[in-house]
Amino acid sequence: MTQTSDPHVAPQADHADTARTFLQRVADLRAWLFLAFLILGFEVWSRISFGGTFLFNPFNIQSIAVFAVAPLLLATGQTFVIISGGIDLSMGFIMGLAAVVAAHVINWATPGMGFGMAVLFGGLVAVLVAAIPGMVNGMLVAFLKVPPFIGTLGMFGVARGVAFLLAGGTTVPVKNEVFAALGNGRFYGVPYIVIVTAIFVLIMHYLLSQTKFGQHNYAIGANAQAARRAGINIKWHLLRLYILSGMCAGLAGVLYAARFTAGAAQAGEPLLLDSVAAVVIGGASLFGGSGTILGTVAGALVIAVIQYGLVFINVAPFWQFISVGVVIIISVLIDQAQRRFSGGRQSE
């Protein structure tokens, strides 16, 4: 028997695959296309109205990168969670909690340990503390079968309350010059916090795209039943997943506290939805099973460029909400179209 014994099946499918795969690739890259389009738009506007450049001004690039740090850190963790078919609504206040914990611990440790060690110790403690609400999220979702939306919404409230209690309802200033330097210093013009974020994002990209953990995350998001039958321990995976997203929020909180040399409970409040937006703009589906860290990077940059760019060209800041909203809607529409297109044959 050869392939030609049934000539109608395979060739047709192969032909459709080529066009389909090409369109899928374009759709997968949409966040980078958005980004290029936006930067081009601001560049043109800038040259026409101010006679100056937008993109080639190092100050602008630095500002956008610093802008993107916290939402991007949240969004990398959120990418993992969303790919698994869940969502983590508690990240914003876990970030605030970590910022407050970092501020307190560094202040407490500085006299005894010296500036540098205190920063290291405080940062570590803050990230570990952030892992605790993450672990609770994971136990709720994995073992007690609580829907992620509800479980993490509960943790949103708990983390928020604890963060405000620890902060005494106010911001906690940090007196440590090494911490201030970490938050505001630069290495050859590149802010330290941007370097830390870039390294972290690379590690997360590796984790998602090159390890079993990442591969299982995709499988669970697409078909949890199949993953279970293949012998993947889903409960253990989900537990680790939510701890990871808690720790991402923790790192975001530490870098926030460094940048403002203060810990604030509400540090991450406006950033949670930005992080979800970055993931969605980056090409992930809220149904789970798809998404990449590189897409999320583009998504976070799109949001940062919109926010900074609109200020730069002197438009009322409220337009940024409208623009980001429109980009999210367009992005979801593309995702829907892509889904209908690639999944069409099964649903027929």
Partner 1 sequence: MSPPNTPMVNTPMGETLLEVRHLSKNFGPVQALSDLSMKVHAGEVVALAGDNGAGKTTLIKAISGVYAPSSGEILLKGKSVSFASPQEARDQGIETIYQDLALADNLTIGANIFLGREPMRRAFGFLPVLDRAKMAEAAKSTMALLDFHVSRLDAPVSNFSGGQRQAVAIGRAVYWNAQILIMDEPTAALGVPEQRKVIQLIHQLKAQGRGVIFISHNLQDIFAVADRIVVLRRGVQAGERRISDTTHDEVVKLMVGG
Residues of this chain that interact with partner 1 (CB under 8 A) are 1-3, 5-6, 8-10, 13-14, 17, 20-21, 206, 210-212, 215-216, 218-219, 221-223, 225-227, 229-232, 289-290, 342-343, 345-346
When the beta carbons of 49 and 210 are compared against partner 1, the nearer one is 210
Q: What are phi and psi of 115, to 5 degrees?
A: -60, -50
Nearest approach, Cβ of residue 1 and partner 1 (Å): 6
When the beta carbons of 44 and 337 are compared against partner 1, the nearer one is 337
Nearest approach, Cβ of residue 218 and partner 1 (Å): 6
When the beta carbons of 152 and 285 are compared against partner 1, the nearer one is 285
When the beta carbons of 15 and 175 are compared against partner 1, the nearer one is 15
Closest CA to 99 of 196, 191, 173, 157: 173
Nearest approach, Cβ of residue 286 and partner 1 (Å): 14
When the beta carbons of 226 and 333 are compared against partner 1, the nearer one is 226
Q: What is the identity of the amino acid at 135? A: M
Nearest approach, Cβ of residue 315 and partner 1 (Å): 39
Identify how many contiguous H helices and E strands the chain contains and give both numbers. 14, 4
Nearest approach, Cβ of residue 313 and partner 1 (Å): 40
CA distances, 214 to each of 19, 79, 101, 211, 235 (Å): 28, 11, 30, 5, 15
Q: What is the identity of the amino acid at 197? A: T
Terminus-to-terminus CA distance in the chain, angstroms? Answer: 30
Closest CA to 193 of 259, 137, 130: 259
Q: Which residue has the tokens 């508690």?
A: 90
Both tokens assigned to 336: 């829907």
**Contact status, residue 296 vs residue 80, Cβ threshold 8 Å:** no
| String of DSSP letters for 182-238 | HHH-EETTEEHHHHHHHHHHHHHHHHHHHSHHHHHHHHHHH-HHHHHHTT--HHHHH
Q: Which residue has the tokens 């590796």?
A: 206
When the beta carbons of 145 and 229 are compared against partner 1, the nearer one is 229
Nearest approach, Cβ of residue 145 and partner 1 (Å): 21
Nearest approach, Cβ of residue 223 and partner 1 (Å): 5
Angle at 67 between CA 73 and CA 52, to 5 degrees: 145
When the beta carbons of 158 and 224 are compared against partner 1, the nearer one is 224
Nearest approach, Cβ of residue 342 and partner 1 (Å): 6
Nearest approach, Cβ of residue 137 and partner 1 (Å): 24
Q: What are phi and psi of 211, to 5 degrees?
A: -120, 165
Interacting residues of 129 by C-beta distance below 8 A, sequence separation 6+: 97, 98, 101, 250
Both tokens assigned to 340: 């209908």
When the beta carbons of 85 and 191 are compared against partner 1, the nearer one is 85
